[in-house]
Amino acid sequence: MARKVLIVDDHPDFRARARALLSAAGYEVVGEASDGMSGVRVVRDLAPDVLLLDVQLPDVTGFEVVRILHADPDPPAIVLISSRDAADYGTRVRRSGALGFISKAELSARTLQAVLEGAGR
């Protein structure tokens, strides 16, 4: 069974590229959101297996979304994404509780799978 993925990013072009890339690799992209709080609502409505979550959103940070969702009983696997490098966030990625981080330039089905399997840590 395909893993259900939700994409939360404020750039429609990136969401479209990520959707196409992940769908072609067999992931089921069940939805999208353009800001953090909408993302929280959609996660709670659709219960995806994986949340691909931008760090920099117009309303709250991805770090805040991780904190909110980790208070829920069964949060999805959360993978942070950004146009910046992980080093730009220092230890915040590791301390956030997200499963891992992928720069937008390096997003692929293979890099996502590596993070989901724990190889991306």
Is the residue at 77 inside a domain? yes
φ/ψ (deg, to 5) at 30: -90, -10
Is the residue at 121 inside a domain? no
At 77, the amino acid letter reads A
CA distance 109 to 121: 16
Ranges of H-type helices in the chain: 12-24, 36-46, 62-69, 92-96, 109-116
Give the CATH number, domain containing residue 60. Answer: 3.40.50.2300
pLDDT at residue 17 greater than cutoff 60: yes
pLDDT in tens, 48-94: 999 999 999 999 999 999 999 999 999 999 999 999 988 889 889 88
Q: What percent of the chain has pLDDT over 90?
A: 86
The per-residue pLDDT for 120 is: 42
The per-residue pLDDT for 1 is: 56
Q: Report the chain's C-alpha Rg in angstroms.
A: 13
Is the residue at 81 inside a domain? yes
Note down the domain range covering 97.
4-116
CA distance 19 to 37: 20
The per-residue pLDDT of the chain, averaged, comes to 94
The per-residue pLDDT for 53 is: 98
pLDDT at residue 26 greater than cutoff 60: yes
- Residue 32, strand partner residues: 7
Torsion of CA 119, 88, 61, 99, to 10 degrees: 10
| Count: domains in the chain | 1
